[in-house]
Amino acid sequence: MQIKSSNASNLMCASMVFIAQLIWASSSSAQPTPNKPNLPTFTPASTGTTNIASASPALAEATVVTIDPNQLVLNAIHQSVWGPALACKVYQRSQAFDQQVIVSGEYKSSGIGTGQFRFNARVSAGETTFDMVQVSDGRLMFTQIGLDEPPRRVNLDSVRQALGNAIHHASERPDVNFYLAVGGHPELLRSLYHRYFWYKAIARSINGVEVWQLEGRVRTDPPKLAGNTPFDISSIAPLQPGSSLPTEVRLTLGRSAAAAYFPHMVEYFQRIKNGDGQPDTTELRSVLEHLELTHSVTIVDKDFVYKVQDGVKSIEDETKDYLPSIPLADRALKLGQ
């Protein structure tokens, strides 16, 4: 695949790092936010398709349920790893470094535990535009952002080998799914689970689509059930002062058999503390939408092939960030979130 870039400025590169963290998770740290967020409403830009995030969503009466929302996110991680093949459009609009950044692309996964997927996207801010790709053939995953940065690689075979016999017991050991959730939708959900404490689940229908809407805020304590890779540990760590990463989030998951736990939308917010005695407010920073979901996916061999571009002199290997710090055989499983 030819990846093109229009000589992205330093500011745009910084913005891209911010956006990439929001799309496919982040190993940056998190900051305690003890107050319950008052999430604002948001109407995304029209994308020309009818979906749950259309300009005038039809909302059915919502029901707050007693189901643990943390468990729903765990279910979503499991489904993203072991569920059927799927394809969808990806659209994200974010405010980063005083400019609007748009990400528009496509995502395809062969599912059923293969680890094979491809995500292509065009990123633009003002007059600056370049492409990014993340692709896995099930053995190696590569990530390339523009042409100025070296590609990054994760050896998925090494990750699976580190799991030992536990990889055959994913249904009994939900923590195994964390380690298999590398890249794409699985890693997005993995990071959301580790970074945020999910305190409310709402069952509702939006434009005729049955969904769960989950609300979360940055964790003050690690989850009882958690991954123990450097990636997971850094996701749980407190945010540094002045961090731009969101402190609040709303996750919309599919609630029907046709779209079980599919991440239709992720809305990111930042809590702003007021110094004039007024109540704290939340500002919407980014909305990530997955549109036009289909399970009728045609898979060809070249879909998951990454070609290293001519002139690339080095590849950054990030495998160690995804390997368990403690062997799973020596780690007692702790149930609960």
Give domain 58-297's CATH number out of 3.60.150.10, 2.50.20.10, 3.90.1150.10, 3.40.50.150. 2.50.20.10
Q: Give 6's contacts (C-beta < 8 A, 6+ positions apart).
A: 127, 128, 129, 130
The stretch 70-86 carries a mean pLDDT of 97
Q: Is pLDDT at 320 greater than 80 in this prediction?
A: yes
Q: Give 69's contacts (C-beta < 8 A, 6+ positions apart).
A: 198, 199, 200, 201, 212, 214, 215, 216
Mean pLDDT of the chain: 81
Beta carbons of 187 and 177 less than 8 angstroms apart = no
Q: Is pLDDT at 3 greater than 70 in this prediction?
A: no
Cα torsion at 136, 133, 50, 58 (round to 10°)?
Answer: 80
Q: What is the DSSP string of 117-147?
A: EEEEEEEEETTEEEEEEEEEESSEEEEEETT
Q: Is pLDDT at 96 greater than 80 in this prediction?
A: no
- Least-confidence region, from 117-126, 148-157, 278-287, 318-327: 278-287
pLDDT at 333: 54
Residue 176 CA to residue 227 CA, distance in Å, equals 8
Task: Please give the model's pTM, rounded to 2 decimal places.
Answer: 0.83
The tokens for 127 are 């007059």
Selected residue with higher pLDDT from 106 and 65: 106
Q: Is pLDDT at 221 greater than 70 in this prediction?
A: yes
Beta carbons of 282 and 269 less than 8 angstroms apart = yes
Q: Is pLDDT at 244 greater than 60 in this prediction?
A: yes
Count of all residues that appear for the chain in the document: 337
Using 50, 70 and 90 to split pLDDT, how confident is the model at 331?
A: low
Using 50, 70 and 90 to split pLDDT, how confident is the model at 192?
A: very high
Using 50, 70 and 90 to split pLDDT, how confident is the model at 275?
A: confident
